Amino acid sequence: MSEMVLRSQWFDYFSKRILNDFGIVVSDIENYQPDLSPIVYCCLLNRRVINKKREIIYSKAFLESSWYNDERWIKLKDLIEEGGDINCYMSKAINEWKAVDYLLYTYNVSHFHLHKDKKGGIRNELVFGVFTHDCFYAICVGGHNDIYKPDELIGRAYDAWPTEIYDYELNSKKNNKFDQGFFKRQANIPELQYNKVNSTPIKNGKGEVIAHVDKFQHTLLVNLTLNDIEYKSIPYSVYCAYLNEIKHIEEIEMSLVNNVKADKMDLIILPEKKMYEVIVHNRISFKKSIPFRRKVLICTLYNQ
């Protein structure tokens, strides 16, 4: 065979999912190539919140604020608890696959708009918190400038949940400082977005450092080269999912080619069954079922 048939069909599967799930036509993507489709799909998923019922756990500051009983928050709260889709409250950049949510990637803090007006416009108020599989830890309601103050946000999280969200390093003698101005430049200038090395200090009301949060809490960022085209700031989890699954697809194909002399094949991907089905067209056609690899991150089940 001149090309990897199943591999090509795997790429095609994700190009169709990008259109069906997000309404994005792959030909409109800059520097698009078929090999990129699983990466694009997972990057789009990476910043989204999966529709799932979650318990909301409040910080004391949120509970005591006027926002707790505000009808706009109550509407959004009900949506989170019922497992509704809150992605329409996220930034408009959520449909830009290369956009980096630096606050999420570095500190695992999500932010979304409190509400939209009737014309679909957005207001300044933002909800900040941390999503886990079963819970949403509601830190506070703030403004757009708070996106660039992660040290204050994680400090509030530390006050509310000293052990639940982050692995804090206590009583550290590190002399690290946090520069909100530089973080803002990093969040807005892709060339400055690199993996943090230094931990972030948390201060008490007296300005004393009482703990540190170490490095990236959500994902590292890596550069990926496909067919001589470099794509920057790809989430490391996406990169791993891509390599894990494409390697398995290629192994399946080579096994069928070598063992049964398969030439014409059709790949069917069944996420609900966690299985691939390959229909082999030889003199006598047959179907072979291959389960997904267990406990391995893959693009087909990304964020599930």
Q: How far is CA 9 from the centre of its chain?
A: 24
Distance CA 250, CA 171 (A): 49
Out of 9-13, 187-191, 194-198, give the one with best mean pLDDT: 9-13
Residues 193, 230 within the same domain? no
Helix (H, G, I), strand (E, B) or coil at 45: helix
Q: Name the E strands within the chain.
A: 55-58, 110-113, 126-131, 135-142, 168-170, 200-203, 209-213, 221-226, 229-235, 264-270, 275-281, 286-291
When pLDDT is averaged across residues 202-230 and rounded to a whole number, the result is 79
Q: What is the pLDDT of residue 134?
A: 95
Question: Within this chain, do residues 122 and 163 fall inside the same structural domain, yes or no?
Answer: yes
Number of domains making up the chain = 2
- Cβ–Cβ under 8 Å, residues 179 and 132: no
Residue with tokens 């890596």: 222
Pair (86, 184) in one structural domain? yes
16 and 70 part of one domain: no
In a domain, 252, yes or no: yes
d(CA 266, CA 260): 15
Across 25-29, average pLDDT:
94
Clarify whether residues 80 and 205 are in a common domain: yes
pLDDT at 232 over 50: yes
Whether 116 and 262 share a structural domain: no
**Predicted local confidence at residue 253, as pLDDT:** 93
- List of residues 6+ apart from 243 with CB closer than 8 A: none
The mean predicted confidence, pLDDT, of the chain is 88
Greatest CA separation for the chain:
79
If you average pLDDT over residues 223-236, what whole number do you get?
Answer: 92
Q: How far is CA 148 from the centre of its chain?
A: 19
Cα–Cα distance, 159 to 34 (Å, whole number): 47
Residues 6+ apart with CB under 8 A from 193: 100, 102, 186, 187, 221, 233
Same domain assignment for residues 140 and 159: yes
Domain boundary among 182, 216, 250: 216
For residue 195, the model assigns a pLDDT of: 67
196 and 107 part of one domain: yes
How, if at all, do strands 55-58 and 135-142 pair? parallel
List pLDDT tens digits, range 109-132. 999 998 765 554 456 899 999 999
Count, residues in the chain: 304
Report residue 188's pLDDT band, with 50, 70 and 90 as the boundaries: confident
Residue 296 located in a structural domain: no
Ranges 43-47, 51-55, 158-162, 166-170: which has the least confidence: 166-170
Q: In this structure, is residue 301 part of a structural domain?
A: no
- Tokens representing 125 are 């108020």
Q: Which has more pLDDT, 202 or 243?
A: 243
Q: Same domain for 9 and 145?
A: no
Parent domain of 263: 5-43+224-291
Tell me the C-alpha to C-alpha distance, in Å, between residue 104 and each of 12, 90, 141.
30, 12, 16
Domain annotation covers residue 299: no
CA distance 239 to 234: 7
Query: How large is the average pLDDT for residues 231-251?
Result: 95
Among 101, 99, 102, 100, smallest CA distance to 29 is for 99
Last-in-domain residue among 216, 232, 257: 216
Q: Which amino acid, 162?
A: P
Kindly state whether residue 298 falls inside one of the protein's structural domains: no
Average pLDDT, integer, range 294-298? 94
pLDDT of residue 121: 47
Q: For residue 189, what are the contacts with CB-CB under 8 A and spacing of at least 6? A: none
Other CB atoms closer than 10 Å to residue 260's CB: what's the count? 13
Q: Is residue 282 part of a domain?
A: yes
Residue 212 pLDDT: 74
297 part of a folded domain = no
Identify any residues that bridge with 212 across adjacent strands, giving them in sequence order. 169, 201
Q: Is the pLDDT of residue 1 over 50?
A: no
Is residue 31 included in any domain, yes or no? yes
Note the pLDDT of residue 91: 84
Whether the per-residue pLDDT at 216 is higher than 70: the answer is no
120 torsion bin: left (phi>0), alpha (psi -120 to 50), beta (else) = left
What is the model's pLDDT at position 2? 39
Shared domain for 117 and 195, answered yes or no, is yes
Look at residue 186 in the predicted model and tell me its pLDDT. 82
